[in-house]
């Protein structure tokens, strides 16, 4: 099939494109050309900005894709532009969403109160009642208009361009610009004697996915026509607690330190978590496994090993924000460890 990929050259995209090529598809990428030169040579390019998608309609018509894979639909307008531009060109669209659509996300961030949602979250679990989760948090226009809920609604309610939605977990692997595993690894490589975790955080379960596995799930959804009209969670089995994740990394790198779990009352005030970690954020990926036959192509152990190698070779260029991983800085951590000994 001919596949047009919108975006696709930064983190997850290149892995998806390689798998689509391996499946025998013909791929054209549409992006601004500011990232990613490392794509297979057979991939064709259309250079442009998705904010002016309709300007490129004649080029899209010339390529005549059967499936459009939108890697980067962030706003209502993004989704509507895809529908308007491709409804007479393509047969279906696959769009990348996120587990941040679930109400559980806002329970964690204390934007919603009330009962905790049961986990794992299925595709039918409640969604956030408040739209635009990042609005007001920064001046970035992206933060103002970002929301995958209206993106999904626009695409799923359009009859003349059937859609598939994939709700992704926290993705790690080579190229992860959020460096999700780095803070733990850094402490181990710095030979810290211990990593202190606040109790609720240590036991909190989040949903993760290794990039090559997530990319395979996306490629499957593109490949399988029966995916149309369906929403799928993508996540590893089982969900992992933060403490388990730290221990899994420790085992691979041979770190001899200790994971020290302390109640919130013993944390310094500036490090006490403000989120509600009684709410877990794991999603149930049964549907994509049973309907599309998805299964991980890289084991978790191998996934962690590949990620660790990459993180060591590509540490973050700028220091990660304080609290990025809810880990203490070394000075405060030393104080807690000393107080536990006395």
Ligand X SMILES: NC(=O)c1ccc[n+]([C@@H]2O[C@H](COP(=O)([O-])OP(=O)(O)OC[C@H]3O[C@@H](n4cnc5c(N)ncnc54)[C@H](OP(=O)(O)O)[C@@H]3O)[C@@H](O)[C@H]2O)c1
Residues in touch with ligand X (CB under 6 A): 7-13, 31-36, 49-51, 71-72, 96, 98, 168, 170-171
Between 138 and 266, CB nearer to ligand X: 138
Specify the DSSP element, H or E, that contains 95.
strand 92-98
DSSP 224: -
Q: What are the DSSP calls for 20-34, one per residue?
A: HHHTT-EEEEEE-SS
Please state the closest distance from residue 167 (CB atom) to ligand X, in A.
8
For the CB of residue 49, give the shortest distance to ligand X in the complex, in Å: 4
The residues facing 170 across adjacent strands are 208
- Pick the closer one to ligand X by CB: 77 or 305: 77
Q: How far is the CB of 241 from ligand X (least distance, A)?
A: 18
Looking at the Cβ atoms of 37 and 159, the one nearer to ligand X is: 37
Is residue 106 within 8 Å of 112, Cβ to Cβ?
yes
Q: How far is the CB of 15 from ligand X (least distance, A)?
A: 8
Residue 23 vs 262, nearer CB to ligand X: 23
CB 81 within 8 A of CB 107: no
Shortest distance in whole angstroms from residue 103 CB to ligand X = 16
Which one-letter DSSP state was computed for residue 173? S
CB of 333 to ligand X, least distance (A): 26
Contact (Cβ atoms closer than 8 angstroms) between residue 266 and residue 104? no
* C-alpha dihedral, 225 to 230 to 236 to 241, nearest 10°: 170
Nearest Cα to 280, choosing from 102, 97, 96, 113? Answer: 102
Instruction: Output 11 or 294, the one with its CB closest to ligand X.
Output: 11
Taking the least distance from each CB to ligand X, the nearer of 50 and 103 is 50
Using CB atoms within 10 Å of the CB of residue 105, give its burial: 0 to 12 exposed, 13 to 18 middle, 19+ buried.
buried
């Amino acid at each position: 099939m001919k596949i047009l990929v919108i975006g696709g050259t930064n983190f997850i995209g290149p892995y998806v494109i390689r798998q689509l090529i391996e499946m025998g598809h013909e791929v054209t990428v549409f992006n601004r050309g500011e990232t990613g030169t490392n794509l297979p040579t057979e991939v064709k390019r259309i250079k442009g900005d998705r904010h002016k998608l309709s300007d490129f309609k004649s080029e899209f018509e010339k390529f005549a894709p059967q499936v459009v894979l939108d890697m980067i639909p962030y706003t209502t307008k993004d989704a509507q532009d895809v529908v308007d531009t491709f409804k007479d060109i393509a047969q279906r669209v696959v769009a990348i969403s996120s587990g941040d659509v679930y109400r559980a996300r806002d329970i964690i961030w204390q934007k919603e109160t009330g009962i905790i949602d049961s986990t794992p979250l299925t595709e039918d679990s409640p969604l956030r009642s408040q739209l635009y989760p990042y609005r007001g948090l920064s001046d970035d226009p992206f933060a103002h208009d970002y929301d995958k809920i209206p993106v999904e609604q626009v695409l799923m309610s359009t009859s003349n361009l059937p859609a598939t939605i994939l709700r992704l977990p926290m993705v790690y692997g080579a190229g992860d610009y959020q460096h999700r595993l780095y803070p733990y690894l850094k402490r181990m490589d710095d030979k810290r004697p211990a990593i202190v975790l606040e109790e609720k955080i240590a036991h909190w379960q989040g949903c993760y996915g290794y990039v090559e596995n997530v990319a395979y799930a996306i490629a499957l959804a593109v490949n399988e026509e029966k995916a149309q009209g369906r929403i799928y969670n993508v996540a590893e089995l089982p969900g992992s607690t933060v403490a388990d994740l730290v221990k899994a990394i420790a085992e691979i790198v041979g770190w001899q330190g200790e994971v020290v779990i302390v109640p919130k009352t013993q944390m310094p005030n500036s490090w006490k978590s403000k989120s509600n970690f009684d709410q877990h954020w794991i999603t149930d990926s049964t549907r994509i496994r049973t309907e599309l036959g998805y299964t991980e192509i890289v084991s978790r152990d191998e996934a962690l090993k590949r990620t660790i190698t990459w993180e060591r070779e590509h540490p973050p260029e700028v220091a990660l924000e304080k609290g990025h991983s809810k880990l203490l800085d070394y000075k405060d951590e030393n104080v807690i460890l000393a107080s536990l000994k006395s």
